Chain A
């Protein structure tokens, strides 16, 4: 059904584009030039939102890329044919973005905004300086004359490519990676996404489209100078069009662009002298009354209309076995205040898991007898990390035996989470080595460590708030150690969700989940990357006794299936039940190591946990 509606949308779009393409035959010159403005804005706003929508980097560099395209055509058309010029514009825009991208994209928030704005200013000033001092002429004449119908058709194609392309990409791995980066870049990295490369690549693709539009647009002008080419007007107009339409939807920016051009035209006509004031008031109104853009509003409206028509169709819809619309609706309601009421349903869904557990053997295995297989999976040696004067980890060495559950315990502030951050490449140590299956992993980046099959959860739960439960888990499957496409990832994600008992909440978005459910999502996401070594950072903290029991059982099944586990934990009950090997840290150093029973009866350990007095008593 989703496939059919996709095909329908595609068909409608094709027909629409064909009609638009045929229009110039019957349009006046004015109509054609209006079309040019619309298509240029649609293409630019869509390209802008392609990068900035999901990643939430507000870029004001549009004008820089448009200007690069204009100048490429203005310089090259003298000696090369037009097709080559336009190809060059796209390539130069792409390369330019590849060069400035890596440094620019390290910045976030307002800094990025200012930096990209500065880029345009810089380009304008450097190009004026060059034209004045080197070529001695501020203007570059465009000597080929292209009729405006051709420009119209070219921009129509670009606009269509931009909209369809960005819509297509939003359903691919790249699209998911971008969204994950926008939601929480750290999580994306630890789930195997090469965040830097993804950002730079998409930034460059968007830039390439902008340069191409600039290149075509330059053909309208008799001559180009730096204030035309690198005009900040482009950056602002495109930004506002995209925000007006709604950058979260592939077709939102296009709608925004059309509305903005319409609005500007209307205001110029209606208010002429007061045009700027009216435009400003419109912005303020947009901010207050349509935050998030118009596209989501249209979808809402469409949803209301569709629901109004629903009763007639529901009979045929209910027959399809794979479609649980009713379930989804209840799940949506559950997100709100009625959470408590569904708890019994959740429990009953849990039983298969419990049955599976009991089937796989007696519940209480005597761990002492079954020694872990020889050889360490992870071997930490002489690890040291200081933050300024504070030494968080000091000459730490320990091994994680393959196939077992190792506990890493110690009082708050003893450096446990720092150790996990060092293992997963989040932090770089000052000294020491970390061998994973014999290979040094210090210096590897987080996503590479994920690919090497080490996965983690976070102490402060980090579920991607704007993505659904299922998408959160799919991400791990799509970018983990054995990457797949979205379709395969979805079925695997559903299997994992079933395992952590979240199947009925697959469609809820991260921010709607309760604390315990967010923890389950994190675990499923980590498992989806197919790790050999799973690092759990206080995954059992804050659970009630029933949940704790379920959690302990779950970790044990994971270990039985061959995943080695390192758990940082304060819940001693879990340490006793699960760990065959425990490392105790205090003030950055290892103070004890051995079986759970050994270390927990060690006076040094009691002392750091309870203080001198209680230890003596």
Chain B
């Protein structure tokens, strides 16, 4: 189906509210993704990025405060960890893992993977897996390619090779895709189909685009809008019986007044019955079992014609 190239990555219609069910008849799947490590440019984390007060805060006082808040609500998160962070702070990554949080990959140094050739990309994936494995004793199930605050687009970047490489390297899921608000299949080759499960991501629920955005100094503070986005989306998704996923950065969200907003929100959310707080891996495994691609991925044949005068 050559026309799908460059247009769609999944089937034409997402799963409706009515067909969605969560374990134990839960009303809503609640996911928290935490990116570990400092802000960086498209080339990824450098020594200079590490040598910042924000980085110190994000791996020490800020991280501790966030962990305490999550623990206070009995919630577990998925920590998206770049390979270099696992190399540099193995004891922190190990401790997070031991606390029950999931450790997933977030690039080798959170670089823009689309800037690399296939062989380089495969090498970066393997190095990252090795670093995370060394810290936790487990290979990561998920691979994130989340946006950096300075990126042109707040969606993350992927190369044409990423999904085939992730499948070849045994990954269960791709951590972020904006094409749906529940897990969905990212189709690399519709003929197979060859597809990986993608987890929902949306910038409106990501703290880094609201807190001193785009950068400290001149960045603007929209902690109020962030909290209202979380609350509005969560309450709408809860009513629909779907999923809510938020993205946090300890160096940003842990600052006390912001952390209080998170704390209040989590108090509100956990007070409702039927909340399923799942790590991305748990949600992905449930989804693959309950909504396997063979049964739910419905790629329709194209009726598109080739036109000389069109994009095609």
Task: Check if A and B associate.
Answer: no
